[in-house]
Amino acid sequence: MRQSKLYTKTRKESPADEVSKNAILLTRAGFIHKEMAGVYTFLPLGLRVLTKIENIIRRQMDTIGNELVMSSLSPRELWEKTGRADVVDVLMKTMPANKASEEKSTNSYILNPTHEELITPIAAEYARSYKDLPAAFYQIQTKFRNEARAKSGLLRGREFRMKDLYSFHRDEADLKEYYEEAKQVYMSIYRELGLGDDTFITVAGGGDFTKEFSHEFQTVTDAGEDVIYLDRKNNIAYNKEVVTEENAKRLSVDFQSLEQVKACEVGNIFPLGTKFTQAFEYTYTDEEGKQQEVHMGCYGIGPSRLMGVITEKFADEKGLVWPASIAPFSLHLICLSKEKDSEASKIAEELYNKLTAAHVEVLFDDREEQAGSKFADSDLIGIPMRVVVSDKSLEKGGVEIKERTSDTGEIVTVEQLLKTYTPNCE
Ligand code: ATP
Ligand code: MG
């Protein structure tokens, strides 16, 4: 992409109404646009990052489930069936805008904060026999929650992205087996996102779902709202909320010997058991033709929150720093010559054409800006590798390449650069 054709711009000033590092930097760099507290538009650069995060999640989820997309709106009756219509405090209900329908349908729709109420009847329709189980469906979708404290940018949205997976099983043992596999698939996702070393499987409460523990995936960061007790030796953590004398006995852990750190919940999985399947009278037919209870699990992960967490963890004083796996582009190609027919301009154009033809994702700064402001923008946007073509670099024998996180670059020839990034061409 040519930067002259990127219609969004960076800004020097921090937005006045943001306090979190992720919202400030992502806004300044032109990745997100605030609509109201906890509600953001993903601008072209931000969408590229979000899509990459979601595709990493999607590839992993495809190994354990079928993708679908459920509706964002649901009828209130489904939530009444599970008793959650008036219990979930973050539930958003729609108010009809037109007067005529007001009397008939006030509050009749829910903007889904999660999808157990929708998926359970769907699974009940398709997975009816022991032969159909286990079955697992997932989606990557926008969720709505009326969060009280929405001042942490992408970490806590009122409208945010979630991947949610739901699995259905013939018995508890089968659910348990799948649940353990899902844990490992989740950890692969965090590793691919560059968060593997700082993300811990964390024993947490079951919420309003289950008396059993659930498992969170907590990434250590000062920006997080949770406190976890971290057992590095055994590679496991405990959410502060489960640190009680009773649980110390139940889990045989000495909580006081563990390190307490701040962390952000980037995923949460629950062994739901039969709570939702019972509410929808969902049973399956076993080998003997008898009806049996279906055991269910749910598995959530937050792509937009992850984008915020990655920003918080990796950004430096100059701006964003993206891991290569989710960077909006692989290379930031910067031409410092303002004359269109200069040697530097010609070489930059040629590089851009050859690299993009080889499917390398290049952001090409072809604008007529000062070098200083091009470099500042490049640092702010945070593409992993910068390539500068200028009269000076050509005098030194080629182009200057520099990693975003390094202070010094090096000169390589144009041929060397092409060979590195397009090894299969020419
Ligand atoms: P929290 O405790 O942080 O409010 P939660 O436990 O309510 O989160 P879950 O219902 O477990 O969240 O949702 C699954 C995942 O979706 C979370 O692990 C998180 O990554 C993401 N998520 C939840 N709420 C939000 C939000 N308001 N904004 C962004 N992501 C969210
Ligand atoms: Mg949770």
What residue ranges define each of the domains in the chain, with the CATH number in brackets? 3-72+112-314 (3.30.930.10), 331-421 (3.40.50.800)
108-114 average pLDDT score: 93
In eight-state DSSP terms, residue 156 is: S
- What's the pLDDT at 97? 67
- What's the pLDDT at 248? 96
Dig out the tokens for 147 from the structure. 């969060």
What's the full length of the chain, in residues?
426
Distance 302 CA to ligand 2 centre (A): 10
Tell which one of 305, 306, 309, 310 to mutate to probe ligand 1, the residue whose CB is within 8 A of the most ligand atoms: 305
Task: Determine which residue's CA is closest to atom 16 belonging to ligand 1.
Answer: 302
Measured from the Cα of 147, ligand 1's closest atom is: 27
**DSSP 3-state of 188:** helix
Cα dist. 134→166, 169, 182, 199 in Å? 11, 5, 13, 28
183-204 average pLDDT score: 98
- What's the pLDDT at 426? 54
Distance 298 CA to ligand 1 centre (A): 13
Question: Could you tell me the pLDDT band of residue 149, with boundaries at 50, 70 and 90?
Answer: confident
Dig out the tokens for 376 from the structure. 């500042």
- Which has more confidence, 97 or 72? 72
- What's the pLDDT at 423? 83
Q: What is the pTM of this model?
A: 0.96
- What's the pLDDT at 6? 96
**Residue type for position 225:** E
Alpha-carbon distance of 46 to 52, in angstroms, equals: 10
Task: Determine which residue's CA is closest to atom 4 belonging to ligand 1.
Answer: 156
Instruction: Provide the percentage of residues in the chain whose pLDDT is more than 70.
Output: 96
Task: Determine which residue's CA is closest to atom 22 belonging to ligand 1.
Answer: 302
| Residue appearing with tokens 């004359």 | 339
Task: Determine which residue's CA is closest to atom 23 belonging to ligand 1.
Answer: 302
Cα dist. 226→178, 219, 310, 312, 316 in Å? 27, 10, 16, 15, 23
- Host H or E run for residue 141: strand 135-144
Is 48 a residue whose pLDDT tops 60? yes
Q: Give per-residue pLDDT as tens, 289-313.
A: 999 999 999 999 999 999 999 999 9
Question: Could you tell me the pLDDT band of residue 212, with boundaries at 50, 70 and 90?
Answer: confident
- What's the pLDDT at 41? 98
Residue 73's CB: how many other CB atoms inside 10 A?
Answer: 12
**Exposure b/e, 358-375, CB count within 10 A at least 16 = b:** eebebbbbbbebeeeebb
- What's the pLDDT at 209? 65
Ligand 1 lining (C-beta closer than 6 Å): 114, 145, 147, 156-157, 160, 162, 265-268, 300-302, 304-305
Instruction: Provide the percentage of residues in the chain whose pLDDT is more than 90.
Output: 91
Task: Determine which residue's CA is closest to atom 21 belonging to ligand 1.
Answer: 302
Q: Which residues surround the ion ligand 2 when the cut-off is CB under 5 Å? A: 268
**Do the Cβ atoms of 63 and 71 come closer than 8 Å?**
no
Is 326 a residue whose pLDDT tops 80? yes
Mean pLDDT, the chain, rounded, equals 95
